[in-house]
């Protein structure tokens, strides 16, 4: 497995898509030299976007968080969240009714932003399920797992509406050594016990790549997948999604995929990045 | 699909294994005529056992519950719980250490009965994981899902010990219309996010059938699978397990499998009972 | 489940995407009144495209076949095959080497059209695997399953290159009552035994919808998913894909999904079309 | 990971179950010192059985093959094949009709031995499917994959009978570097496209362990799982099956599981052997 300096890879592409956690920053703060790298790329005229599997925060809140870490150059308009692709879907497909959700009040903004009424699962009136137009898995916080997951499953057994999952991640890091269940796990559990398939957003699904490309096209109208490098630390989301959408992909070893096991994981999964780099700072 | 009176089916077999919930009783009490049927079979000299996917209660507590419903004829010695097969496994395979568990204090009796020390997941000392000899999923109550599932997942990421699941059921009925997640669902979620396979007890796995056959052999030494009828209301546990173990199987339509969809479910699943009856009382 | 006349549904959308088999035609010829319906829509100025999970034929050959059935109005430029999205991917991502394929010589045109060299699996020199730049599952004919699947599996165990699947369908109808394994099944088998994930084209994946939208945009530049109706006979491809991409969906009961089981299948799968129609001719 | 000399492990158990391929022999002949080890154990009065996932050969033919490799001490009565557990099931559960099979004429002996009529899939009269009492996947040879798998799938779509799989292995080695699809793969493909679950024999399923224990009990009546060591080279069959059945397990590194990746595979799979040895000869 050949490790290439990130700058050498980035030089070939006018458009760079970054994953956030494990690429730009981790639980300790920004990845060493990441801020300088992103600033240098933008000064060189590259079109940069951040694609993050997250519906817990609005793009504005995500940009504020980036700024806290010193990444002032990444404004709200450069951030594509899986929440935003979910909102876009709700706008297009759900014409009426309340959207019952699992998540925080902040995550419900993606429902409200679609012009729909948001109602937490715990507040659903089981006698008036005809009011419900869709169900959304938005975030892993903001509800009581002991009660609300059973409630959700009983609602879905009686209610034939579209179900959307704003984030397919299974786990997220909480410290250097620990993880917690992400929304994707809870949705997967519900799919499994119900024998149903939900509509899923977030990498590796194509919608985020398409929304990011559409965003770049406003400033670089002739952009096509060949121009784009997706940079991520996770094979099953960033790299699989990029490969499927048809953009070039670079795996960085500064997050989920450890240097010592990267080659084994690539071989075992069959998800093959075009490039492998230590981090975007090296 | 031919529906046969249960008495006609039972007449052919000297040994009858019953599932409990949905066959002998449901949330309202005993299935109509079930008590009379079981008493009649036992008076006729049939060997009866109850095989129940449950580690929340000891066989004694399960027998007490049967008695409350009027099924006085089914004593502790006639009840095979998935908890008991789990205990048997812990006895055979885990020689040292504490067994960390998800479940109620009552369910932990199956660990203690194996001569091992039981410790709830929430009490595990993360700095002393070398003390842990096994991890057990016993029951869906007795812990806080918001906290303890993440704790369990982090323990299992760091700890290479056998993991046992006392009950593979995904859901259980709480009222006529509602269900709740059973232990099997939580174990399945952990398997999925960890990419591991746990050792599983409870129907359809063979151990309960083997333990029930061993129990019958003490009073009917020449018993073999050909002598046995497994009666259940669930295709994926009772009927699949019975078919795989090589006993005859009767599906009753008084529980999980509804009369109106039974034929479709049998065709769709490919899990084919030898007989179909309305209930054991008809 | 409300059945709506197709014309009433189609009236609401300026753009209509049709699946081919089971919607426009079946093994006996065109679906009754289908030709008239399509001609009427096109005369009314609707933008029509046919999205077909097929890499066995070029769009030109597919158009010729349509014409044989009397559908002269659907020219090559209106047909999006999964082969074409595969070709697009090979063009974007595979820069060098031969592409080893399972399929007919006709299907290999999609490799050659990407400017790459095509080589049947049976002709691969096992001593020179470094020549292979990608592997493609194109069609279920054109090779000997007894020999070539084992050969393919051994090649993939030794060769770390992108693998593409031009068609995720599992089965296709051969007569009114019989089916045959489609390419998607063979690819799924290889994924399973190798523990790898391949890149897949064809509905329900988004690429065909995107390619069809791009094609419509050349004549109707402001087109967006809200303008589009996807019409299909299969829940897991046409309707799931359409729902995920964010277009409206109409299920027709003239093919894979039978009128008597449609409601059960929709409920069981959780894949909910916006509309249900008997056929496009009714 | 601690590697222990095999003799030291074997000394603790009065009963030893061996897998065959990768443990006693490989494609080049017997594993070095394997013959001497087995002879020494038998001379010491240990009860030895060979448990092999194979329905291509009768136990007699398997013993002849052992003898060719110099393992004269393992007679027919010491060999438990997955074919024999399949035959036992057919005897118990299929009372009438022909058993349609995929496999060689030799494998069909397991059907005939159950007192039933065997008919190759290719000879089934599609107009008289009511004659068919069961369908069996026996071996990966003896039929034409291009034709007979489609035929089998069409038969199973129309025919609601028990389906048995004599061997769940996915792949088997053909040379030091190459593999071929085993029966389990073909059965898995059929399950997947049909959405059905078949009854499966062969490790890791419990029936072979039970049949081997029953065989030992004839000469050592008090035998129980605690007395037994299962020795195998494959985590997902030998070790998972032994762990689930409740016997002790030893992984040898002379076959499927390579010394350099054993620890990773154990961690990744969560299938934890009680002991790890280089080979039974070391």
What token pair was written down for A148?
């609300």
The percent of residues above 70 in pLDDT, for chain D, comes to 100
Residue A74 lies inside a defined structural domain of this protein: no
What token pair was written down for C178?
């019989």
Q: Which residues of B touch A157 (CB under 8 A)?
A: 179
Average pLDDT score, chain D = 93
User: Are B194 and B97 part of one and the same domain?
Assistant: yes
What CA–CA distance (Å, rounded) separates C132 from C111?
A: 13
DSSP state letters, D185-200:
HHHHHHHHHHT---EE
Q: What is the mean pLDDT of residues D95-116?
A: 94
Which of B200, B230, B260 terminates a domain? The answer is B200
DSSP state letters, A179-238:
EEE-HHHHHHHHHHHHT---EE-STTSTHHHHHHHHHHHTTSTT--GGGEEEEES-IIII
C-alpha dist (Å) from residue C190 to A174, C156, C237, C265? 36, 9, 21, 28
What CA–CA distance (Å, rounded) separates A189 from A170?
A: 10
Residue D82 predicted with pLDDT over 80: yes
Residue of A nearest to D261 (CA): A264
User: Are B98 and B189 part of one and the same domain?
Assistant: yes
Number of separate domains in chain D: 2
Q: Residue D252's closest CA among D265, D262, D244, D242?
A: D262
User: Are A100 and A155 part of one and the same domain?
Assistant: yes
What CA–CA distance (Å, rounded) separates D30 from D33?
A: 8
User: Are B228 and B125 part of one and the same domain?
Assistant: no
What token pair was written down for D112?
């005939």
B268–D225 C-beta distance less than 8 A: no
Residue of B248, B268, B272 lying closest to D195 (CB–CB): B268
Residue D241 lies inside a defined structural domain of this protein: yes
Residue of D92, D266, D270 lying closest to B225 (CB–CB): D92
Residue A78 lies inside a defined structural domain of this protein: no
Residue of D93, D197, D206 lying closest to B271 (CB–CB): D197
Assess contact for D130 and D159: CB atoms under 8 A. Answer: no
* Domain with B141 in it: 85-200
SS (HEC) of B193-226: HHCCCCEECCCCCCHHHHHHHHHHHCCCCCCCHH
What CA–CA distance (Å, rounded) separates B210 from B230?
A: 12
User: Are A171 and A126 part of one and the same domain?
Assistant: yes
D180 forms bridges with which residues in the sheet? D172
The 3-state DSSP class for residue C3 equals strand
Scanning the structure block, which residue is given the tokens 């009772």? B238
The 3-state DSSP class for residue D276 equals strand
In the β-sheet with C199-200, what is the strand arrangement from edge to edge? C117-120, C98-102, C132-137, C163-165, C199-200
User: Are D193 and D213 part of one and the same domain?
Assistant: no
What token pair was written down for D100?
């349609």
Residue C77 lies inside a defined structural domain of this protein: no
Q: What number of CA atoms fall less than 13 Å from residue B53's CA on the CB side?
A: 28
Residue of B nearest to D205 (CA): B206
What CA–CA distance (Å, rounded) separates C159 from C121?
A: 13
Residue A160 predicted with pLDDT over 90: no
Residue A14 predicted with pLDDT over 80: yes
Q: What is the mean pLDDT of residues B275-280?
A: 97
User: Are B164 and B187 part of one and the same domain?
Assistant: yes
pLDDT of residue B9: 97
What CA–CA distance (Å, rounded) separates D62 from D80?
A: 10
Please tell me if residue B146 touches chain A, with a CB cutoff of 8 Å. Answer: yes
Residue A188 lies inside a defined structural domain of this protein: yes
A263 forms bridges with which residues in the sheet? none
Q: Which residues of D touch A263 (CB under 8 A)?
A: none
Q: Residue D183's closest CA among D53, D33, D91, D29?
A: D53
Q: Residue C206's closest CA among C221, C185, C228, C233?
A: C228
Domain of residue B251, CATH code = 3.40.50.1000
Q: Which residues of D touch A258 (CB under 8 A)?
A: none
The percent of residues above 90 in pLDDT, for chain A, comes to 78
User: Are B217 and B177 part of one and the same domain?
Assistant: no
pLDDT < 50 stretches in chain C: none
D61, containing H or E segment: helix D59-68
Please tell me if residue A199 touches chain C, with a CB cutoff of 8 Å. Answer: yes
Residue B150 predicted with pLDDT over 90: yes
pLDDT of residue D44: 96
pLDDT of residue B53: 95
Total number of residues shown for chain A: 282
Nearest chain C Cα distance for residue B261, angstroms = 10
pLDDT of residue A43: 96
What CA–CA distance (Å, rounded) separates D59 from D66?
A: 10
D56 CB-near residues (< 8 Å, 6+ apart): D83, D103, D104, D106, D107, D138, D139, D141
Neighbours of B135 (CB within 10 A): 23
Scanning the structure block, which residue is given the tokens 């009369």? B259
What CA–CA distance (Å, rounded) separates C238 from C202?
A: 10
Residue D267 predicted with pLDDT over 80: no
pLDDT of residue D62: 93
User: Are B45 and B30 part of one and the same domain?
Assistant: yes
Which of B144, B165, B200 terminates a domain? The answer is B200
C192–D185 C-beta distance less than 8 A: yes
Phi, psi (degrees; rounded to nearest 5) at C214: -60, -40
What b/e string do you get for A14-50 counting C-beta neighbours within 10 Å, with b at 16 or more? bbbbbbbbbbbbbeeebbeebbebbbebeeeebbbbb
Assess contact for C106 and C58: CB atoms under 8 A. Answer: yes
Residue A216 predicted with pLDDT over 80: yes
A246–C197 C-beta distance less than 8 A: no
Residue D134 lies inside a defined structural domain of this protein: yes
Residue B65 lies inside a defined structural domain of this protein: no
CB pairs under 8 A between A and B: 60
pLDDT of residue D120: 98
pLDDT of residue D125: 94
pLDDT of residue A268: 75
User: Are A174 and A101 part of one and the same domain?
Assistant: yes
Please tell me if residue C60 touches chain A, with a CB cutoff of 8 Å. Answer: no
Residue A26 lies inside a defined structural domain of this protein: yes
ipTM over 0.95? The verdict is no
Write the pLDDT tens digit of every residue in A117-150. 999 999 999 999 999 999 999 999 999 999 999 9
Write the pLDDT tens digit of every residue in B72-128. 999 999 999 999 999 999 988 887 889 999 999 999 999 999 999 999 999 999 999
Name the more confident of B224 and D81.
D81
pLDDT band of D50, cuts 50, 70, 90: very high
Please tell me if residue B188 touches chain A, with a CB cutoff of 8 Å. Answer: yes
User: Are A183 and A95 part of one and the same domain?
Assistant: yes
pLDDT of residue D215: 96
Please tell me if residue D12 touches chain C, with a CB cutoff of 8 Å. Answer: no
pLDDT band of B160, cuts 50, 70, 90: confident
pLDDT band of D261, cuts 50, 70, 90: confident
Q: If contacts are CB pairs under 8 Å, which of residues 226-265 in chain C contact chain B?
A: 261, 264
Q: What is the mean pLDDT of residues B199-206?
A: 92
pLDDT of residue B109: 95
Assess contact for B231 and B19: CB atoms under 8 A. Answer: yes
pLDDT of residue B272: 87
Q: Which residues of C touch A274 (CB under 8 A)?
A: 93
pLDDT of residue A96: 81
pLDDT of residue A233: 96
pLDDT band of A196, cuts 50, 70, 90: confident
Which of D169, D200, D231 terminates a domain? The answer is D200
User: Are A139 and A174 part of one and the same domain?
Assistant: yes
Beta strands, E only, chain C: 15-18, 25-26, 29-30, 47-52, 79-81, 98-102, 117-120, 132-137, 163-165, 171-173, 179-181, 199-200, 228-232, 248-252, 275-277
């Amino acid at each position: 497995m050949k490790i290439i300096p990130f700058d050498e890879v980035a030089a070939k592409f006018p458009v760079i898509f970054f994953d956030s956690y494990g690429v730009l920053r981790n639980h300790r703060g920004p990845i060493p030299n990441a801020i300088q790298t992103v600033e240098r790329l933008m000064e060189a005229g590259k079109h940069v976007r951040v694609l993050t599997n997250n519906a817990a925060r609005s793009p504005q809140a995500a940009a504020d968080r980036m700024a806290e870490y010193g990444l002032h150059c990444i404004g709200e308009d450069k951030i594509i969240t899986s929440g935003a692709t979910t909102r876009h879907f709700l706008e297009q497909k759900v014409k009426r009714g309340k959207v019952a959700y699992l998540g925080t009040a902040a995550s419900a903004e993606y429902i409200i932003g679609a012009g729909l009424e948001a109602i937490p699962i715990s507040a659903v009136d089981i006698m008036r399920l005809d009011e419900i137009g869709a169900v959304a898995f938005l975030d892993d916080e903001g509800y009581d797992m002991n009660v609300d997951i059973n409630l959700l499953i009983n609602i879905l057994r009686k209610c034939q509406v579209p179900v959307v999952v704003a984030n397919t991640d299974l786990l997220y890091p909480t410290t250097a050594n620990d993880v917690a269940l992400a929304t994707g796990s809870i949705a997967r559990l519900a799919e499994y016990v119900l024998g149903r398939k939900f509509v899923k957003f977030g990498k590796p699904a194509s919608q985020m790549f398409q929304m990011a490309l559409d965003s770049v096209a406003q400033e670089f109208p002739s952009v096509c997948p060949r121009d784009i490098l997706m940079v991520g630390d996770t094979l099953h989301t960033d790299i699989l999604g990029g490969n499927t959408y048809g953009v070039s992909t670079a795996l960085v070893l500064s997050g989920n995929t450890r240097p010592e096991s990267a080659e084994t994981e690539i071989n075992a999964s069959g998800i093959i990045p075009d490039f492998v780099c230590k981090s975007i700072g090296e």
